[in-house]
Amino acid sequence: MSRSPKHPLRFFLAAFAALSMAAGAAAQGADPAWPSRPVKVVIPYGSGSSPDVFARIVGERLQQRLGQPVLVENRAGAGGNLGTAAVAKAPGDGYTFVVSTNGPLVYNTVLYAKLPYDPFVDLRPVVLGGGQANVCAVRADSGITSLKGLVDAMKANPGKFNFSSIGVGSLSHLGIELLKARTGTFAVHIPYPSSPQAIMSILQGDVQFACVPAVAVMPQVKAGKLRALAVSTARRSALMPDIPTMKEAGLPEIESMAWMAFMAPASTPTPIVERMNREINAVLAMPEVREKLHAQYMEPIGGSTDDLRRFMLKEREVMTPVIRRSGATID
């Protein structure tokens, strides 16, 4: 024999609330049991790249909070466009995300004549995960001891300075284009496929300087082979407190940061995006996660989905004229 609830009104209200929550999730296309299977995070670069390392550090703790495995999948190619496009075209069911970067999410909209996706339409922001300063460096025996000294040397010797980068349209390229534009200097750009090769080109004397991710520069600085002149970020990095910013070095304020953001297909339900945002923010606040990121010279950032959207729009506003002025294009 069935028994009536002891407090029928309380029972009714609880049941109504549960049904309302389920109906609300269903109305927005969200599975109330999400996630009920593994969540895939696509990295549009190769294994060992900064976004790959970042995603694996965060994913290790994220899967514990979600209660489902977080599977990192590398889909490199076309300057990060290949993997980013794959997620832009994926079903918005909450089981596919991407950790992408400056290029595929902002710069490539200007660099490429045609992209197979629009990052501002086909993807929706989840959270700005982290960033890494670029460090401008020269050979330790170059005689150049400051960023202002480098700029003065370029002005005194026009056409005699080359710089390396990790590819056309990369932050390591466009950051120096921004420096050149703000200081009225000239240097020839020589792109390389990776940070280690860009660094080696300085050590071998093929180029005079570079501004590449800190994780590639600092081991050579600590070994006494390179001299760090400045960091590209607005404030000094707590991980490299002795290296001044470009503004501190006496130059016009120049800010650039290699950043990594979680994005989802545009049709992903809002409740899922908001849940991912909360969980990733919680992971980024964990001391052990921060310690692992700091070991890679990465700073966790976090924030709301709207924070990331505004950040991307500002990046586009600042960097579009820089890219066009540089003449850099990729077919």
pLDDT, tens only, 302-322: 999 999 999 999 999 988 998
Task: Identify whether 287 is preceded by a cis peptide bond (ω within 30 of 0).
Answer: no
Give the whole-angstrom CA distance, residue 236 versus residue 86. 36
Confidence label for 181 from pLDDT (cuts 50, 70 and 90) = confident
pLDDT, tens only, 118-139: 999 999 999 999 999 999 999 9
The pair of structure tokens assigned to 216 is: 């590639």
Judge whether residue 325 has pLDDT over 90: no
Side-chain half-sphere exposure of 310, counting CA atoms within 13 A: 5
Confidence label for 65 from pLDDT (cuts 50, 70 and 90) = very high
Judge whether residue 24 has pLDDT over 90: no
Range 94-112 average pLDDT: 96
Give the whole-angstrom CA distance, residue 185 versus residue 196. 26
Is-contact 241 195, C-beta < 8 A? Answer: no
**Would you state the pLDDT for residue 29?**
54
pLDDT, tens only, 241-299: 999 998 898 777 777 889 999 999 999 999 999 999 999 999 999 999 999 999 999 99
Choose between 202 and 252: higher pLDDT.
Answer: 202
Predicted TM-score of the model (pTM)? 0.84
Task: Give the range among 34-43, 52-61, 243-252 with minimum mean pLDDT.
Answer: 243-252
Judge whether residue 171 has pLDDT over 90: no
Average pLDDT, the chain: 90
Q: Which domains does the chain have, with CATH numbers?
A: 39-131+259-326 (3.40.190.150), 133-231 (3.40.190.10)
E strand intervals along 172-312: 188-191, 209-213, 226-231, 257-265, 299-300
